[in-house]
Amino acid sequence: MSRVDKEKSVNVQVLLRCRPFSDDELRSNAPQVVTCNDYQREVAVTQTIAGKQIDRVFTFDKVFGPTARQRDLYDQAIIPIVNEVLEGFNCTIFAYGQTGTGKTYTMEGECRRAKSGPEGQLPSDAGVIPRAVKQIFDTLERQNTEYSVKVTFLELYNEEITDLLAPEEISKVALEERQKKPLPLMEDGKGGVLVRGLEEEIVTNCSEIFSLLERGSAKRRTAETLLNKQSSRSHSLFSITIHIKEATPEGEELIKCGKLNLVDLAGSENICRSGAREGRAREAGEINKSLLTLGRVITALVEHLGHVPYRDSKLTRLLRDSLGGRTKTCIIATVSPSVHCLEETLSTLDYAHRAKSIKNRPEVNQKMMKSTLIKDLYGEIDRLKAEVYAAREKVGVYIPKDRYQMEENERKAMADQIEQMTASLETNQKQITDLQEKYDSELQHSADLSKKLEATEVNYISYL
Ligand code: ADP
Ligand code: MG
């Protein structure tokens, strides 16, 4: 990596939020073990080990204690991120933590109650998603320019992706088919991935977002566990893509594009504690596959291991660019103040603290010429038309399933190989640069010495 690249890299921003005591915790008089100091950006956890009280203190980029409101977190931490999306960056915000600590509350808020109030005011319970959408529309309307805002909402459950915005108007049977049908994750040929067939909903004002959230959240699969009746065992990803038209002084029309990903991860607790059994345990295992891979990816990035296992889970494939890539990333870790969650709280704090040293190299998305964008869209329409035609007329390519699987595995193995080779190429290139620098400085040193020698010889001759 050159010096210029190093200067551009920024650390992932990590925030900590501790929710207030729940009614249950208050009823059972659960002792408080987490103390937040929002101003010092510190969280202290009190443990009693062998009769001794031990405090562990963690520092984060920002800390929001139990009295912090939705609005405080948004105003202090999220507004700048959304401004960057409007400038044409891609940004991702993750909520990470044990079930019942407030991930969904932070991201969505209480969306059933959260209808837009009078004069477009948001209810105080509204979370990051509705607030971000409001900020986006408020800013775009002030700028008085042409724009479009699209959202997608997907769920990742047992390593299968489903669309939380799939339309409802299709007949019930077809709907169930479609809702259950996992969507394939494919390479987009530009180094990224795309979810084939994911519904993109155009949003034209802030109030539409509540019905979308409600529709999506209702579809999110939940299952009862001892920890939280509404406990969610799936990851959800809500994405907002904004296109804004700009005119150059030469009269050329440019399109600026920014994307905001909002990720509500599945509970990070281990399976025994949430009382999961049998089927549920397998489910938890699969959930952990994505969460575990996320952990491994973080480890590889933090410890600068050559190979980062992005490809090992769907979650890390989807969010690859947010971890060590060109996206600006923020993690909100959520914890409970109660002693009952102590073990999980410590593990969340350790995890979040480690993630602080991941570095990304945010890059603004290249602006597109309007004419190029239209050409791309025409290309996409042609491709889709061809697919519809092939499906209807059954003139596509058909190969036996096992051969397809074999070829797909080969392709994956090759992709892995390329990835590893790219990583080792980067390391080698860095070594070459270092050696070249050393060689240059040695050359300089030897030139200096030659000069000195010459001068000494002249001196010596004149002395004689
Ligand atoms: P998770 O998504 O992490 O499982 P939830 O967001 O569902 O957790 O939160 C669990 C419960 O705690 C919900 O009833 C929610 O309203 C409440 N809660 C979470 N965080 C807060 C907070 N900061 N302030 C008030 N209530 C909260
Ligand atoms: Mg939740």
> What is the domain partition of the chain in residue ranges?
3-366, 401-464
**pLDDT number for residue 144:** 84
Is the predicted pLDDT of residue 278 greater than 60, yes or no? no
* Residue 64 alpha carbon to ligand 1 centre in Å: 14
Q: Is 99 annotated as a binding residue?
A: yes
Q: Who's near 281: CB < 8 A, 6+ residues apart?
A: 271
Take residue 224 and report the two structure tokens written for it.
Answer: 């009862």
Residue 101 marked ligand-binding: yes
| Ligand 1 atom index nearest CA of 95 | 3
Q: How far is CA 299 from CA 97, 122, 352, 357, in A?
A: 18, 39, 12, 10
CATH class of 3-366: alpha beta
| Cα gap 2→181, rounded to integer Å | 45
Pocket of ligand 1 (CB under 6 A): 19-20, 22, 97, 99-105, 228, 230-232, 267, 334
Closest Cα to atom 18, ligand 1: which residue? Answer: 102
CA of 364 to the centre of ligand 1 (A): 34
- For residue 263, how far is its CA from the centre of ligand 2 (angstroms)? 11
Q: Atom 23, ligand 1: which residue's CA is nearest?
A: 19
Ligand number nearest CA of 16 is 1
- Please give the pLDDT value at position 363: 85
| CA dist list (Å): 132 to 2, 4, 178, 239 | 35, 32, 29, 11
Once rounded to an integer, what is the mean pLDDT over residues 27-52?
A: 90
Q: Tokens standing for 347?
A: 């593990």
Q: For position 409, what pLDDT does the model report?
A: 87
Predicted local confidence at residue 383, as pLDDT: 83
Q: How confident is the model at residue 5 (pLDDT cuts 50, 70, 90)?
A: very low
Listed in sequence order, the residues at least 6 apart from 157 whose beta carbon sits closer than 8 Å to its beta carbon are 221, 233, 234, 235, 287
Looking at all shown ligands, the one closest to residue 222's CA atom is 2
109 is known to lie in a ligand binding site = no
Nearest residue by C-alpha to atom 20 in ligand 1: 102
With a cut of 50, say whether residue 273 has pLDDT above it. no
Q: What is the pLDDT of residues 214-233, one digit of tens each?
A: 888 777 655 445 444 434 67
pLDDT at 177 (0 to 100): 53
Residue type present at position 215:
R
Q: What is the pLDDT of residue 121?
A: 77
Rounded distance from Cα 70 to ligand 2 centre (Å): 16
Whether the per-residue pLDDT at 402 is higher than 70: the answer is: yes
**Of 22, 26, 71, 105, which is best to mutate to test ligand 1, by the most ligand atoms within 8 angstroms of its C-beta?**
105
Distance 464 CA to ligand 1 centre (A): 91
Q: Which residue has the tokens 């060590």?
A: 324
The model's pLDDT over 281-319, given as tens digits with 9 standing for 90+, comes to: 555 555 567 888 888 888 888 888 878 888 888 999 999
Which of 124, 34, 13, 130 is closest to 72 using CA atoms? 124
User: By three-state DSSP, how is residue 77 classified?
Assistant: helix
pTM: 0.79
